Amino acid sequence: MSSNLATKLREGTKKSHSMAENVGFVKCFLKGVVEKNSYRKLVANLYFVYTVMEEEMERQRQHPIVSQIYYPQLHRQHSLEQDLCYYYGSNWKEQITPSVAAEAYMQRIREVSNTAPELLVAHSYTRYLGDLSGGQILKGIAQRAMNLSDGEGTAFYEFQDIPDDKAFKATYRQSLDELPVDEATADRIVDEANAAFGMNMKLFQELEGNLVLAIGQMLFNTLTRRRTRGSTELATAE
């Protein structure tokens, strides 16, 4: 039995995917404007979200639907811990708390796990397939924008247990298509995936204020340096 769920998810979330890419924070990121303090807050929020998602996936791993897309090699909690140690130091746990949007996201994942575990498929798909696809582009941008050495602060994007991203994504999509779900359940999973995109957008939107302030400060510093340099050159000429 094939539910064509992979295709339904891809087609059914196109609009949400496009909207997420057009959030100010993401647009700046894609243009190479990455401010380290905002980025590390995002990493912290993702840590809380992935921790809950992976705890619930683990708890539901015997579920007839969840079990079919349960791939521990996708898990990001440990890699996010590595990044948090890089950005915050060894006492990172004492410095981070989930934001309002992260709390809402975590609460929704727990609610789904308790009431309709099959909808965890939507959260797995939205996060992990994105990490294996566009996430690899974001890794390179982050490294260049923040002058990171390879492996520093970007462990989140490294899937050490998946040697071939393309082959794994094909396997994952096949698993989606083989899930024992009817049309109504497939539609509910697509709806939940769209909701997950919305929750991710709110994570990004929370950071926009910090990013705007940081960019403003960077521009101010640049202009100040130029004016100072100009004044010095004028004084030297005189």
CATH at residue 40 = 1.20.910.10
Report residue 194's pLDDT band, with 50, 70 and 90 as the boundaries: very high
Q: Is residue 16 part of a domain?
A: yes
Q: Is residue 107 part of a domain?
A: yes
Q: Is residue 191 part of a domain?
A: yes
- How confident is the model over 126-155, as a mean pLDDT? 90
Contact 50, 80 (CB under 8 A): yes
Q: Is residue 129 part of a domain?
A: yes
Q: Is residue 220 part of a domain?
A: no
Token look-up 């996010």 returns: 80
Q: What does the pLDDT read at residue 211?
A: 57
Evaluated on CA atoms 186, 191, 195, 201, the torsion sign reads positive
3-state secondary structure (DSSP) of residue 153: coil
- Which of the residue ranges 2-16, 79-93, 122-136, 140-154 has the most confident prediction, judged by mean pLDDT? 79-93
Measured from the Cβ of residue 111, the count of other Cβ atoms closer than 10 Å reads 12
pTM of the full structure? 0.87
- How confident is the model over 206-213, as a mean pLDDT? 70
Report residue 88's pLDDT band, with 50, 70 and 90 as the boundaries: very high
Q: Is residue 231 part of a domain?
A: no
The Cα-based distances of 234 to 82, 221, 223, 225 in angstroms read 49, 20, 16, 14
In eight-state DSSP terms, residue 61 is T
- Taking only the tens place, the pLDDT of each residue in 47-58 is 999 999 999 999
Domain count, the chain: 1
Q: Is residue 226 part of a domain?
A: no
Q: Which domain holds residue 171?
A: 5-208
Contact 202, 25 (CB under 8 A): no
Q: Is residue 218 part of a domain?
A: no
